[in-house]
Amino acid sequence: MVSFVRRGTRLQGKQLAAWERLSGHYLVDVSRASGATSVDPGARLDAPATFGRRAPLTVEIGSGLGDAVVAAAAAAPERDFLALDVYRPGLSDLMRKADTAGAPNIRVIEANAPEVFGTLLAPGSVDEVWMFFPDPWPKKRHHKRRLVSPAFAELVARVLRPGGRWRLATDWEEYAEQMRATLDEVPAFTPANDGPDGWAPRFDGRIETGFERKGIAAGRVIRDLTYIRR
């Protein structure tokens, strides 16, 4: 299950320096299967050992340049945050921002999210899953690449604790409607979309990023969704 086309991974200048200086703390070294972003099916994440403590864990899928997760981690030092992405320059920027913000409670994994959720994370080990502005793959022939699907929802349900939350946001109306229609039918989740017109209220823990501002400037409406693990 792959929902991305991987962009360049070359690091140089400040990004390379940040990677070399900070990856020892922030980057989780994952055993690979056959590809650079794959996960060995036998690998397991020991979260308490990785973070050096036991704390509620939030996993963000597609962390981009890291603005949202870094802001959240800096505001909630009592929680741990795991950021997943396949874009190495973005992960380098994230680590640099985390270091500047004084947010040591973040770890990053450069890997395909379905493989992380399918085997690497322990069942019931995650408190929240965040998926903000995933690639909408707007062309109809590419819809099959969209990550939100019944199959992926089962993987998210696998790792969330009972009562845990899956928070989503998108500025692509048709994708928002597909997300809601898909996830409303997944037995493992209870919808918590009690805002206007059947959408969730904006999540207070999600800052407005540059990406979101561009969507608003283009006239698109931001839709939030929340689902609770039964």
Cα torsion through 131, 102, 92, 53, rounded to 10: -70
Amino acid at 91: L
**Is the separation of the CB atoms in 126 and 47 below 8 Å?**
no
Residue 8 is predicted with a pLDDT of 55
What homologous superfamily is domain 13-229 in, according to CATH? Answer: Vaccinia Virus protein VP39 (3.40.50.150)
Q: What's the CA gap between 162 and 151, in Å, rounded?
A: 19
Buried b (16+ CB within 10 A) or exposed e, 13-23: eebeebbeebb
pLDDT at position 200: 98
The rounded distance, in Å, linking the Cα atoms of 8 and 174 is: 29
Tell me which residues are annotated as active site.
135
The domains of the chain are located at: 13-229
Q: Which residue has the tokens 């921002």?
A: 97
Q: Residue ranges of the chain with pLDDT lower than 70? A: 1-9
Q: Are 188 and 229 in contact (CB under 8 A)?
A: yes
> 229 is written with which tokens?
């693990």
Residue with tokens 């965040």: 130
SS3 117: helix
Q: Which two tokens stand for residue 159?
A: 């790792």
pLDDT at 13: 87
Determine contact, residues 134/61, Cβ cutoff 8 Å: yes
